[in-house]
C-alpha cells in the first residue's frame, strides 16, 4: 500500500507520507498530553525513525523542550529518513546518541525505534533501550506499532515497548489487536494518511468489531411469538464438584433469549441448580438412556462446562457427538475431543470456544505455538473441525471454516480472567443459536455481548471484583442499552480510534 501511494504521489511521495505521519503523530500527542513541555523522541535507523525526526522538529518549532536519542548514527540514514533528520538538525533540535547513562524522564516519550518490518528477535542496543523505557513508567506514544511487537501476529519479539497510545498508519496491522498487543498498544488510533484508494485495492486479513457494530444482529421478536420460536437448549456438564459451571452456562443460555433450557448434569447438582434458576429444567443423567431422550428434544446442545474427564464425561460427549445436533463445545468437551479423533460431518453446525491451552491440545501443539500466531491457530481449528472457532483471550479471534478472513473483538477487560467466564460465553452462544442466529453471527455477537456486559460491570465495581455471575446478570441491561460505554477519544484530523 505504501509503495503504491508513493508511486501515485510522485518523486517526493515518500517524504510526503512521512510528513503526514509525523504531523498526525504530533497532533495526537498534543491532544492526549496537552500539558507536555519536555519531550524525548527515540529514533531508530529506518523510516519509523524518520517519522520520529518529523515529530521532533514540529515539537521544537512549537516551543517544546525536545531531546532526540538516536540508536543509529543519523549520518548512516538513507532516503526519506535522512531528509527528515537533516530537517530536524537544521531546525536546531537537540540530537544525541543514546547510551545506558541517558535518562528517560520527559513528560512524554515518542517511540520511533522499530517499525512493522521487524521479523526477528529484538537485538542490542534496542533491547536495552526498550527495557529502560518500560521501567521508566513515562507515558509513551508509539508510532505505527510499539517497537518489538510483530505486526502480523501481535507477539512480542523478545521484548516490546509498552505504549500508552499507538498511532498506526495507512491500515490497521493485525498484530495490534490480539494477544500480547493488548498489553503493549494502549489506546489505538489509525490515520490512513489519505491512502484510502491504495487500501481498498487489498483484501484485509479480517475485521475488528465491537458490540455496537454487531448489536443489530440480535434476533427480532414478533408480537405473536412463543417459546417454541426461540429454541430448546440442552446444556450438558457438571460432573461431581463441577456443577457451578453447568449452572452458569444454562442460566446464560436462558438469559440470552432461549425459549427453554434443560441442564443435563449429575444428580447432586439438580437441587442447587433449581435454587439458582427455577426457570430451568435440571435433569439427572446418570444413565445414557436419559441423556439420549433429552437430546432428542433439543434444538441446540452446549457441552463442556464442568464436564470433567471421567467415564461419565466421556459417555456424555460420545452421545452428544452422535446426535447430529448443532453444538457449542467448551472446556473439558474440547479436551476430550482432542483425544477422540472425531471429525465433524459437514452438516453439523459447530462452535468451538477454546482458550489457548485447549487449542494447543486440539492442534497437538504447545500453548506458546498457539499464541505465537493466534490467527493461524483459529483458522486451523475452524478448518479441522469444519465449524467456527472462537479463540479466547485478549483480542478474541473468530474464524470460520473455509474462510481466510477472521473477526477480532475489541472489548472486554482483564477482570474477565476469572473462573466461570467461559461457561457464561458458552451459554450465550447456544442461546443465540437456538433463536436462529447463524453460527458465525452467534459466535461474534455472543463474544461481543459477553465482553460488553463485563465492561459495564467493571465500570460499576472495578476489575478485581468481577465474577462470571455478574456478567450473566448484566446481559439483559447491556442488550437493552446498546450505547455501552467505550473508551473513545476525539479523532485527530480524520484519524479513527479503534478502541
**Residues 28-37, mean pLDDT to the nearest whole number:** 97
| Cα 72 to Cα 52: distance, rounded to the nearest angstrom | 13
pLDDT > 50? residue 493: no
Domain check: are 228 and 81 in the same one? no
Domain check: are 366 and 424 in the same one? yes
Asked if the structure places residue 491 within a domain, the reply is no
| 176-226 pLDDT tens trace | 999 999 999 999 999 999 999 999 999 999 999 999 999 999 999 999 999
pTM over 0.95: no
Domain check: are 23 and 150 in the same one? yes
pLDDT at residue number 317: 97
Asked if the structure places residue 318 within a domain, the reply is yes
Asked if the structure places residue 388 within a domain, the reply is yes
- The candidate with the shortest Cα–Cα distance to 153, out of 441, 391, 350, 448, is 391
Q: How many structural domains are present in the chain?
A: 2
Residues 6+ apart with CB under 8 A from 275: none
**CATH number of the domain residue 183 falls in:** 3.40.50.10260
| Distance (Å) of CA 102 to CA 71, 128, 180, 487 | 12, 12, 28, 34
**Is-contact 44 72, C-beta < 8 A?**
yes
Domain check: are 218 and 268 in the same one? yes
| Cα 337 to Cα 360: distance, rounded to the nearest angstrom | 12
The share of the chain scoring above pLDDT 70, in percent, equals: 96
| 251-297 pLDDT tens trace | 999 999 999 999 999 999 999 999 999 999 999 999 999 999 999 99
pLDDT > 50? residue 28: yes
pLDDT at residue number 347: 81
pLDDT > 60? residue 43: yes
Asked if the structure places residue 499 within a domain, the reply is no
Domain check: are 172 and 153 in the same one? yes
pLDDT at residue number 468: 98
The share of the chain scoring above pLDDT 90, in percent, equals: 93
| 15-26 pLDDT tens trace | 999 999 999 999
Domain check: are 318 and 183 in the same one? no
pLDDT > 50? residue 169: yes
Domain check: are 178 and 255 in the same one? no
| Cα 226 to Cα 239: distance, rounded to the nearest angstrom | 33
Question: Buried (b) or exposed (e) across 28-52, using 16+ Cβ within 10 A?
Answer: bbbebbeebeebbbbbbbbbbbbbb
The whole domain housing 340 covers: 212-480
Domain check: are 20 and 131 in the same one? yes
- The candidate with the shortest Cα–Cα distance to 26, out of 65, 62, 79, is 62
**Is-contact 55 143, C-beta < 8 A?**
yes
pLDDT > 50? residue 479: yes
pLDDT > 60? residue 174: yes
| 329-372 pLDDT tens trace | 999 999 999 999 899 987 899 999 999 999 999 999 999 999 99
pLDDT > 80? residue 485: no
Asked if the structure places residue 487 within a domain, the reply is no
pLDDT > 70? residue 155: yes
| 68-110 pLDDT tens trace | 999 999 999 999 999 999 999 999 999 999 998 899 999 999 9
Asked if the structure places residue 492 within a domain, the reply is no
Domain check: are 176 and 289 in the same one? no
Domain check: are 328 and 470 in the same one? yes
Asked if the structure places residue 494 within a domain, the reply is no
- The candidate with the shortest Cα–Cα distance to 88, out of 106, 70, 104, 101, is 70
Domain check: are 467 and 436 in the same one? yes
Please list the residues that pair with 264 across neighbouring strands. 236, 283
pLDDT at residue number 481: 54
Mean pLDDT rounded to a whole number for the chain: 94
Domain check: are 380 and 460 in the same one? yes
**CATH number of the domain residue 362 falls in:** 3.40.1190.20
Asked if the structure places residue 116 within a domain, the reply is yes
Q: What is the 3-state secondary structure (H, E, C) of the chain?
A: CHHHHHHHHCCCHHHHHHHHHHHHHHHHHHHHCCCCCEEEEEECCCHHHHHHHHHHHHHHHCCCEEEEEECCCHHHCCHHHHHHHHHHHHHCCEEEECCCCCCCCCCEEEEECCCCCCCCCCCCCHHHHHHHHHHHCCCEEEECCCCCECCCCCCECCCCCCCCEEEEECCCCHHHCCCCHHHHCCEEEEECCCCHHHHCCCCCCEEEECHHHHHHHCCCCCCCCCHHHHCEEEEECCCCCCHHHHHHHHHHHHHCCCCEEEEEECHHHHHHHHHHCCCCEEEECCCHHHHHHHHHCCCEEEECCCCCCCHHHHHHHHHHHCCCCCEEECCHHHHHHHHHCCCCCCCCCEEECCCHHHHHHHHCCCHHHHHHCHHHHHHHHHHHHCCEEEECCCCCEEEECCCCCEEEECCCCHHHCCCCHHHHHHHHHHHHHHCCCCHHHHHHHHHHHHHHHHHHHHHHHCCCCCCHHHHHHHHHHHHHCCCCCCCCCCCCCCCEECC
Amino acid at each position: 500500500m505504501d509503495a503504491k501511494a508513493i508511486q501515485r504521489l510522485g518523486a517526493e511521495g515518500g517524504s510526503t507520507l512521512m510528513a503526514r505521519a509525523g504531523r498526525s503523530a504530533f497532533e495526537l500527542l498534543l491532544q492526549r498530553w496537552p500539558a507536555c513541555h519536555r519531550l524525548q523522541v527515540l529514533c531508530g535507523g529506518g523510516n519509523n525513525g524518520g517519522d520520529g525526526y518529523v515529530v521532533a522538529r514540529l515539537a521544537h518549532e512549537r516551543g517544546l523542550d525536545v531531546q532526540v536519542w538516536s540508536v543509529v548514527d543519523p549520518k548512516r540514514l538513507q532516503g526519506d529518513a535522512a531528509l527528515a533528520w537533516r530537517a530536524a538538525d537544521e531546525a536546531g533540535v537537540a540530537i544525541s546518541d543514546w547510551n545506558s547513562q541517558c535518562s528517560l524522564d520527559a513528560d512524554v516519550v515518542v517511540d520511533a525505534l522499530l517499525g512493522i518490518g521487524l521479523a526477528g528477535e529484538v537485538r542490542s542496543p534496542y533491547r536495552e533501550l526498550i527495557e529502560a523505557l518500560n521501567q521508566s513508567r513515562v507515558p509513551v506514544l508509539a508510532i505505527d506499532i510499539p517497537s518489538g511487537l510483530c505486526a502480523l501476529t501481535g507477539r512480542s519479539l523478545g521484548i516490546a515497548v509498552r505504549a500508552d497510545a499507538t498511532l498506526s498508519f495507512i491500515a490497521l496491522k493485525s498484530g495490534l489487536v490480539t494477544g500480547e498487543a493488548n498489553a503493549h498498544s494502549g489506546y489505538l488510533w489509525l490515520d490512513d494518511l489519505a491512502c484510502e484508494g491504495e487500501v481498498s485495492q487489498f483484501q484485509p486479513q479480517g475485521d475488528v468489531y465491537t458490540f455496537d457494530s454487531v448489536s443489530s444482529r440480535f434476533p427480532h421478536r414478533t408480537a405473536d411469538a412463543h417459546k417454541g420460536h426461540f429454541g430448546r437448549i440442552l446444556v450438558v456438564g457438571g460432573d461431581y464438584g463441577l456443577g457451578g459451571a453447568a449452572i452458569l452456562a444454562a442460566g446464560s443460555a436462558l438469559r440470552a433469549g432461549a425459549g427453554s433450557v434443560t441442564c443435563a448434569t449429575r444428580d447432586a447438582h439438580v437441587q442447587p441448580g433449581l435454587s439458582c434458576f427455577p426457570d430451568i429444567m435440571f435433569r439427572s443423567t446418570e444413565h445414557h438412556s436419559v441423556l439420549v431422550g433429552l437430546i432428542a428434544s433439543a434444538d441446540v446442545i452446549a457441552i463442556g462446562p464442568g464436564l470433567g474427564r471421567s467415564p461419565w464425561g466421556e459417555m456424555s460427549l460420545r452421545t452428544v457427538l452422535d446426535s447430529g445436533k448443532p453444538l457449542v463445545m467448551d472446556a473439558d468437551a474440547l479436551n476430550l475431543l482432542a483425544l477422540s479423533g472425531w471429525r465433524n460431518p459437514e452438516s453439523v453446525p459447530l462452535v468451538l470456544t477454546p482458550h489457548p491451552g485447549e487449542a494447543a491440545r486440539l492442534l497437538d501443539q504447545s500453548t506458546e505455538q498457539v499464541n505465537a500466531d493466534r490467527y493461524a491457530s483459529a483458522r486451523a481449528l475452524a478448518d479441522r473441525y469444519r465449524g467456527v472457532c472462537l479463540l479466547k483471550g485478549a483480542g478474541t479471534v473468530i474464524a470460520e471454516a473455509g474462510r481466510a478472513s477472521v473477526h477480532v473483538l475489541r472489548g472486554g477487560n482483564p477482570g474477565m480472567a476469572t473462573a466461570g467466564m467461559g461457561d457464561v460465553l458458552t451459554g450465550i452462544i447456544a442461546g443465540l443459536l437456538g433463536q436462529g442466529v447463524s453460527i458465525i453471527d452467534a459466535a461474534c455477537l455472543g463474544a461481543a455481548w459477553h465482553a460488553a456486559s463485563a465492561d459495564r460491570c467493571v465500570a460499576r465495581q472495578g476489575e478485581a471484583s468481577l465474577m462470571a455471575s455478574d456478567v450473566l446478570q448484566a446481559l439483559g441491561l447491556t442488550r437493552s442499552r446498546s450505547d455501552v460505554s467505550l473508551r473513545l477519544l476525539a479523532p485527530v484530523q480524520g484519524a479513527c480510534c479503534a478502541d
